[in-house]
Amino acid sequence: MQLHTTERVVIVGAGLAAIYAALKLAPRPVVMISPDPLGMGASSAWAQGGVAAAMNAEDSPEKHAADTVRAGAGAVDAAVAEFVTSAAREHVLDLTDLGTGFDRTSEGGYVLSREAAHSMARVVRVKGDQAGAEIMRALIAELRETPSVQVLEGTQAVRLETDGNRVTGVVLTRSDAEGSQPILLRGSAILLAGGGSGGLYALTTNPPRIRGQVIGMAARAGATIADAEFVQFHPTAIDVGEDPAPLATEALRGDGATLINRDGTRFMVDLHPDAELAPRDVVARAIFAQTQEGNRPMLDTRDTIGARILTEFPIVAEACARNGLDPVTQPIPVAAAAHYHMGGVATDLDGRSALAGLWACGEAASTGLHGANRLASNGLLEALVFARACAQDIAKNISQTTSLPDPAPLLDLAFQPGGTTPDAQAVARLRQTMTDHVGVMRDAAGLREALRSLAELEQSHAPCDSFANMAATATLIAGAALLREESRGAHCRTDFPDTDPGPGRRPPVLLRDALELRDRIAKDPT
């Protein structure tokens, strides 16, 4: 295996968390590992809602933190919620200074939307449903003017190198369908910011590459994983057969859109006092139940939003148009789809993992902010706050051993042909297994079947780091879901429908324990 050593901090990923961390590390030299062209393939760019922050006098970080804790179903770390919400306004102002074109009022204030489980409007948005794309545009423009950052497009990380206690490098391959021989890259520090796990499910709103590889890679290296069972299903994915499914932003419901079924019945009114603005897990289960009963759930924007959807929510309107739907005159069919993973690499307030030399931020990390059910539009906020925290801690860690280096030479990696890539049929089977057995509603029989299927798939698949990473994360999700014998937030067990009293426990998990559980179940035909 080729070996390259660099003074640069190695950042795995190229979404919001990765880019923001790279900017905050400047002028320290950084190299970013980006499987796709910069700005493509990252969940951040697809985010429609916006950034949650207390931006007006009637709101406060304390109220925002209280909503976060309430939505998280007893599993939120209150200290983390306070840490994040108290920094929210500062980060919105920073993004504004960097050129993000947030929607503004005629008086110059921020236009704020209300989303599910928020007690008031506090989501800063862009053109209704373009916040992620606009934030990424502004950050990429700034990144291109930052000489300390090198972006290696078309490369992917597939494995971490460790000495048993410390992460020392990352193994890279080309990210195209042909693959390549691996290259080992050692840097001054490793930051994982490569997204979540929604693409492990057959029905998802996530970009195609977001399939748990970064979490799986860290788990295989021995990192501690937390909250793996808590996968958030977005209730209003547009149900038109696309993979991934287009998203109908929650801001539509914040603007008055209602949920109806094929009979025209508004079904959320009888299920929760907040109706369509109930916590996401409540709405997702209601949507799922309507789908299972053949009632064809739909999002109705006709009376409350009408033609405004074409100009104020253009991404949603475009998704409808390419599938022959007119949201001005027709309700939009929706389904619950895997959207966000609250679980990931367990980190502290500095973004440090349990492995020395390894930091994580963004959706790949589990900070304790989201608990069992992420509050809407807290995802981008968490990415911003912890990207900066990681950058500051990495800079401090490096400065303890070295002075600020001169600009590091650019890396020139020459990949050789060869290597292995995941079998498409095996990936499809894995994704269907997760949707069928580890989805919105779960039970012991289905979770055991999922673990047996995952064991069989991994055993029959040719050795491939990328597939092993997917299988590792899927195993962690299914195993943790089997062990949590209660229903809490996004984790709903039909055989254990009640929530245990008291605060939700957050037991850390190692992959070796999840694999031992999987192996025991695979050997037990019952």
Q: How far is CA 60 from CA 87, 120, 258, 399, in A?
A: 11, 11, 28, 36
- Alpha-carbon distance 332 to 327, whole Å? 6
- Alpha-carbon distance 102 to 122, whole Å? 13
Residue numbers in the chain where pLDDT is lower than 50:
403
- Alpha-carbon distance 69 to 86, whole Å? 14
Q: What's the per-residue H, E or C state across 307-354?
A: CHHHHHCHHHHHHHHHCCCCCCCCCEEEEEEEEEECCEEECCCCCECC
What is the pLDDT, as a whole number, of residue 418? 86
Residues 6+ apart with CB under 8 A from 363: 17, 43, 195, 196, 197, 340, 341, 344, 379, 383
Decide the pairing of beta strands 2-5 and 183-186.
parallel
Closest CA to 13 of 178, 210, 245, 166: 210
Closest CA to 206 of 175, 233, 172, 177: 233
What is the pLDDT, as a whole number, of residue 330? 97
Residues 6+ apart with CB under 8 A from 418: 179, 180, 181
Which H helix or E strand runs over 283? helix 280-292
What is the pLDDT, as a whole number, of residue 407? 63
- Summarised one tens digit per residue, pLDDT across range 56-89 is 999 999 999 999 999 999 999 999 999 999 999 9
- Which three-class secondary structure state does DSSP give residue 247? strand
At 241, list the tokens. Answer: 């057969």
Decide the pairing of beta strands 123-124 and 51-52.
antiparallel
Residue pair 131/188 in contact (Cβ under 8 Å)? The answer is no
What is the pLDDT, as a whole number, of residue 398? 86
Rg (alpha carbons) of the chain, rounded to whole number: 22
Cis-peptide, bond into residue 331, ω within 30° of zero: no
CATH number of 424-523: 1.20.58.100
φ, ψ for residue 295, nearest 5 deg: -95, 0
Exposure letters 357-392 (e unless 16+ CB within 10 A, then b)? bbbbbbbbbbbbbbbbbbbbbbbbbbbbbbbbbbbe
- Alpha-carbon distance 349 to 106, whole Å? 38
pTM: 0.94
Residue pair 372/488 in contact (Cβ under 8 Å)? The answer is yes
- Alpha-carbon distance 2 to 502, whole Å? 52
Residue pair 133/313 in contact (Cβ under 8 Å)? The answer is no
Torsion-angle region of 347 (φ positive above 0: left; ψ -120 to 50: alpha; else: beta): beta
What is the pLDDT, as a whole number, of residue 406? 58
Residue pair 487/284 in contact (Cβ under 8 Å)? The answer is no
What is the pLDDT, as a whole number, of residue 276? 94
Q: Which residues pair with 204 in a beta bridge?
A: 338
- Mean pLDDT over the full length of the chain: 93
CA dihedral 117, 118, 121, 125 (to 10 degrees): -80
DSSP 422: -
Which H helix or E strand runs over 365? strand 365-366
For the annotated catalytic residues, the residue numbers are 280
At 280, list the tokens. Answer: 């996401």
Q: Provide the residue ranges of all domains of the chain, joining segments of one domain with +.
A: 234-337, 424-523
CATH number of 234-337: 3.90.700.10
